[in-house]
Amino acid sequence: MKSDGDKVRKYLQYGLTGIAMVMGLSACGDNNDLSLSQNSIVYCSEGSPESFNPQTITSGTTIDATTNQLYDRLISFNPNDNSIAPGIAKSWHVTRDGKMITFYLRKDVHFHQTEYFTPTRTLNADDVIFSFNRILDTEHFYYPVSGGQYPFFQSVEFDQVVEQIEKINDYTIRFKLNHSDSSFLSNLATDFAVILSKEYAQKLALENHKRNIDIYPIGTGPYKLKEYHAGSLIRFYPHDKYWQGQVAIKQLIFDITPSNTGRLTKLLTNECDVIAYPIAHKKIGERSDLILEAETSFNIGYLGFNTQKPPFDNVLVRKAVAHAINKQAILDAVYFGQADIAKSIIPKASWAYDDSISDQEYSIPWAKSLLVQAGYKNGFTMDIWAMPVQRAYNPNALTMAKLIQVDLQKIGITANIVSYEWATFLRRVAQGEHQSVLLGWSADHPDPDNFFTPLLSCSSTITGSNRAFWCNQKFDELIQAALATNNINQRKKYYAKALAIVAEEVPLFPIAHSKRYQARNNRVKGKILNSFGGINFSKVSKK
Amino acid sequence: MARDKIYQEEEFPSPLLQLWHNFRQNPVVMIGFGCFIFLVVLAIFSPLLTPYSPIESHLDSLLLPPAWSDDGNISFLLGTDNLGRDILSRIMSGASLTFGISFIVVIISMFIGVVIGSISALTKGIKSSFLNHFLDVILSIPSLLLAIIIVAILGPGLENTLWAIVMVLIPQFVHITRNAVTEEFAKDYVLASKLDGAGSMRLLIYSIFPNIIEKIISQATLAQSAAILDIAALGFLGLGAPIPLPEWGAMLKNGIDLFYIAPWTVYMPGLAILFAVVATNLVGEGMRHALKLRKES
Amino acid sequence: MLLFSLRRLNLLLFTILLLTLLSFSLSYLFPGDPLINITGRVLATPEQLEVLRQQYAFDQSVIEQYWSYLVHIANGDLGVSMSSHIAISTEVLSVMPATIELTITALIIAMFFGVPIGFIAAIKHKKTTDNIILAVAMLGYSIPVFWLGLLAILVFSIQLGWLPSAGQISLLYEIKYVTGIQLFDIMLSDSEYKWQAFQDASSHIILPACVIALAPATIFVRIARTAMMEVLESSYIRAANSKGLTFKQIIYRHAIRNASVKVVRHIGLQFANLVTIAMVTEMIFNWPGIGRWLIESIYQRDYTAIQGGLLILSSFIFIVHIITDFIYAALNPIARDTHYGS
């Protein structure tokens, strides 16, 4: 027994020495530690990207993680006045009939060099043509990769617009259009129209790993992908040959934190430098080292009815529900008064906004009588699908769903709230499994068409961004007509008529137009939020 | 500790009465017992007692702090949540969900567990050995995981939570009944009635049950505190009570997003759970202590 | 000892067999097609499904299906996740080590504090110290763990700023995956920031491990207290006492060792409880372990993942159970002869 005791004492000694060594060593390394965090930015994002190629998706989470970080576009929006600014194309020329557009490319644009690809040449016309032909040409060797879905381009009927893309020389290309389209340049400037590397694509095709083009991205943007763990993190390294000059930090990390409170906690404990969609604005305001930012963004939060499924195939039922919901209460409880009531899908800041459209008045007796007319005297049971993540247009869909649940109870409708993990949720909603869904839309560019076509046109019922699955021939004709002309007054008239149809048919119930919020530690400098599309880390630095 | 009994004819109180007698001695335990009774009353009568409906929204008073705070309002004693629902009313109605259901859960699983346990105590050989191992396997699965899996089979919802936790608790009751019955069977008084010609059923009901019932009840209090925590945990994970119901765990989950601006939405349901579990544990503790005293005397 | 080992291994085998039976039957109990539940191939074409049907013997009797399921498990094939389409075995391997690291740390913390406090309570039996310890212990195992976790983050991460609130390590550090147990991997890595990473990872594990440890620690207090009281009443202590040894000598030389042996016996049983608590705690602290992975699989109705996770997690608990049995037997020769279950 005595020897045992000695042994124990000996182990204890070893253990204590070990601990002391660890403490001592870690104490002297503090300087290095500081430099590591000084050169890195941790951004707490709200979800995992579905893909690393924005051509194939529509979700804002994916755009945030990809477009401005990994890629460049031919043209982009000037963040100050939302005019169109040069990107990879240093200049462009549009013929008078609007059917031929020539782009002149930069010559010094390098692609990423990573562990999985080393480029041998700089960007040229082949890469641009490859990137667009992948979307346009159904026979293209990359078209079916990753499912052959290009939802944004399909919803604006890009293939109907573009007749052909010509290579004039290595640094000049020309788009030939079938007809003039007033939103064409805006569409090219959106976050979806990124330029990929043809050389990389050919290499992958040889290795028979075509799918990797959307999983291990190669672009020309300010950062390159280092590693990605779904549900956990994305690590970016700077692109040292970025044509606008290398960024000021050594590492950009997306810390994927779906929980709202989790993100706020990490901001408060300095585990994150910047967080997406902060809650509890008051709490952030109390801390002098934190900054809350807001950017007006073109968006709409709505309750969409699945018009293909009973009972919402009946317009009376849709109207009854619309009249039963107390919008003002939602604005107070969910947006904390930081949003505008939405009367239609178009926000006030857009030139297509029509003041004459009136709101669905909150009136329980009216709603009840509509329900009786529709033949649902005793009400019914329905599902409300509430999106699980926070977006600018809807900071808390679950709370919103609960409020609507209470409202609907008053007219005898029992609502069940359904929710899934974000990627699953989007997939199921796109398949039309829902009865009604709380969702929203953020515009990708300032043209109002970006609200009409993706949200409510017949073509987008197929691509899945029209979650109401509502298809109205007259409405479609109006928005087509609006696109065919460049005369703003003419377009305004068409859009006003289209909005009137929507107000009459109620395929969705507009709720609010909101700002997009972001919070950061004041050590992080540089603009990150834009009015349109995703966030941009190319200008950030850390003090 | 031999003690001479002078009056052999003295009538002995039943084991349960003796237990109660010892139980009463400890004041702390009696406070716990009082709280327990209070919760039972609350669980039954909460619809009559709450100041407001638990799902009614007061949209003009969102996120009010409790009444003792400077911005509080006396008509909402414990404040309101982000939908303007009165937290006091929700906590009170929650008693019949979280606490009330745990009570029902324990009674159902106790009944089933005792029946299976006694039957298995009377069987021997391979069947009994298999059952024993099977129980060990079930007991080695974390109770919450098992409940979650049963919920995954049945689908989320309050009623399914109830059945899931019943199934989780049954093995514990089977285990304890089986051991207690086997132990009693070996005792002389059972042998005596056996020699009198009593059948196993008769033995079980008249000789053994009165002597093991307190063990089972003591297990029941343990099971109930576990059941409260499991119901609340399932609610917290969003797998239990559906959304508008004021189940305490679900309330806590709802409060998380408000933690930094309205911390009382997290404190209150947490305290309610703690209160219910401590009350239950105190009763259980007192029971076990009393049992020990009775054995020692 | 040989007989003892054989008996335990036999038991382990039997248990794992029963667990596979349970997880196999789950594929029938879960909603949907059992074949898809067991393989997780939601995207399979009808032709691929036909191939799978044959591979898993789903065209034959249930017994043969079970057998082919066992063969698949033996080959390390637990199907693919219904949501991420990655092999379950790969996913489990990437999350299981984090849970092992967390639970073992919590177990050590629970014992390190719980057992000595229990001994003190026993030595001071029926005094104020004893009563206070018992009261605190009761409070400790009554606190709902998710609530405790939130309060701990509020106090230690936000108000005091001592410890980080989420994750296994600050994402700034790039640590290569070797064993999956972060602290070991850091030691094995050749990063220039090795020691800061180690310090950072240790500070990340403290808070969740302590939150998990609280309830088991209070149970260890009670177990240790009972064990020590039994030892103190035993005849050899009375003998030592009558030999004239001081109370201190008796406690340090004899009582602690013998009471500790008795405590070891209960570790296995407490471990299932500890893992339950860890599952919820992983959710709160965003710990990338199997508990969080399982709960998220439930949210996504990923039945294949639930089946696989149940099997692996329960087997892990049972293995820990058996290991503590062995340790107990090694420390206490009498235990080797007792039959299982008695």
3-state secondary structure chain B: CCCCCCCCCCCCCCHHHHHHHHHCCCHHHHHHHHHHHHHHHHHHHHHHHCCCCCCCCCCCCCCCCCCCCCCCECCECCCECCCCCEHHHHHHHHHHHHHHHHHHHHHHHHHHHHHHHHHHHHCCCHHHHHHHHHHHHHHHCCHHHHHHHHHHHHCCCHHHHHHHHHHHHHHHHHHHHHHHHHHHHCCHHHHHHHHCCCCHHHHHHHHHHHHHHHHHHHHHHHHHHHHHHHHHHHHHCCCCCCCCCCCHHHHHHHHHCCCCCCCHHHHHHHHHHHHHHHHHHHHHHHHHHHHHHHHHC
Distance between CA atoms of C270 and C218, rounded to whole angstroms? 11
Positive or negative: CA dihedral A406, A408, A409, A410: positive
Give the residue carrying structure tokens 């009786």.
A372
Mean pLDDT, chain B, integer: 84
Give the residue carrying structure tokens 């400077």.
B70
Size of interface A-C (CB pairs under 8 A): 76
The pLDDT, as a whole number, for residue C340 is 46
Chain A residues with CB under 8 Å of C180 CB are none
Determine the number of helices (DSSP H) and then strands (DSSP E) in chain C.
14, 0
Which one, of A212, A276, A250, A295, lies nearest residue A65 by Cα?
A276
Q: Is the pLDDT of residue A442 over 90?
A: no
What is the predicted ipTM? Answer: 0.85
Q: Does B242 touch chain A (CB under 8 A)?
A: yes
Per-residue pLDDT tens digits for A376-431: 888 889 999 998 887 888 888 888 998 899 889 888 899 988 888 777 888 888 88
**C-proximal residues of B, 140-179, CB under 8 Å:** 140-145, 148-149, 151-153, 155
The pLDDT, as a whole number, for residue C197 is 85
Distance between CA atoms of A249 and A243, rounded to whole angstroms? 16
Distance between CA atoms of C275 and C317, rounded to whole angstroms? 8
Q: Which neighbouring-strand residues pair with A75?
A: A86
Q: Do C161 and A253 touch (CB under 8 A)?
A: no
Residue numbers in chain B where pLDDT is lower than 50:
1
Residues belonging to chain A: 543
Distance between CA atoms of A450 and A448, rounded to whole angstroms? 5
For B128, residues 6+ apart whose C-beta sits below 8 A from its C-beta are B120
- The larger pLDDT score, comparing residue C211 to residue A146, is at C211
A41: enclosing H helix or E strand: strand A40-45
Q: Does A363 touch chain C (CB under 8 A)?
A: no
Point out the residue among A26, A266, A423 whose CB comes nearest to the CB of C196. A26
A168: enclosing H helix or E strand: strand A162-169
Encoded tokens for A360:
């669905």
Positive or negative: CA dihedral A172, A178, A181, A184: negative
Distance between CA atoms of A11 and A14, rounded to whole angstroms? 5
Encoded tokens for C321:
């159970």
Q: Is the pLDDT of residue A335 over 90?
A: no
The pLDDT, as a whole number, for residue A198 is 92
C298: enclosing H helix or E strand: helix C290-299
Distance between CA atoms of B283 and B291, rounded to whole angstroms? 12
Beta-carbon-side half-sphere exposure of residue B185 (alpha carbons within 13 Å) = 17
- Residues A501-521, mean pLDDT to the nearest whole number: 89
Mean pLDDT, chain A, integer: 85
Q: Is the pLDDT of residue A122 over 70?
A: yes
Per-residue pLDDT tens digits for A254-310: 999 888 888 999 999 888 999 988 887 888 888 889 998 888 778 899 999 999 988
Point out the residue among B140, B148, B236 whose CB comes nearest to the CB of C298. B148
The pLDDT, as a whole number, for residue B8 is 56
Determine the number of helices (DSSP H) and then strands (DSSP E) in chain A.
20, 20
3-state secondary structure of C308: helix
The pLDDT, as a whole number, for residue C252 is 81
Percent of chain A exceeding pLDDT 70 equals 94
The pLDDT, as a whole number, for residue C86 is 86
Chain C residues with CB under 8 Å of A268 CB are 157-158
Integer CA distances (angstroms), B206 to A181, B113, B195, B199, in order: 92, 19, 15, 11
Distance between CA atoms of C105 and C289, rounded to whole angstroms? 14
Residue numbers in chain C where pLDDT is lower than 70:
1, 335-342
Helix H, strand E, coil C: the string for C13-37 is HHHHHHHHHHHHHHHHHCCCCHHHH
What pTM did the predictor assign?
0.82
Per-residue pLDDT tens digits for B27-80: 888 888 999 999 999 999 988 888 888 888 777 777 888 888 888 788 888 888
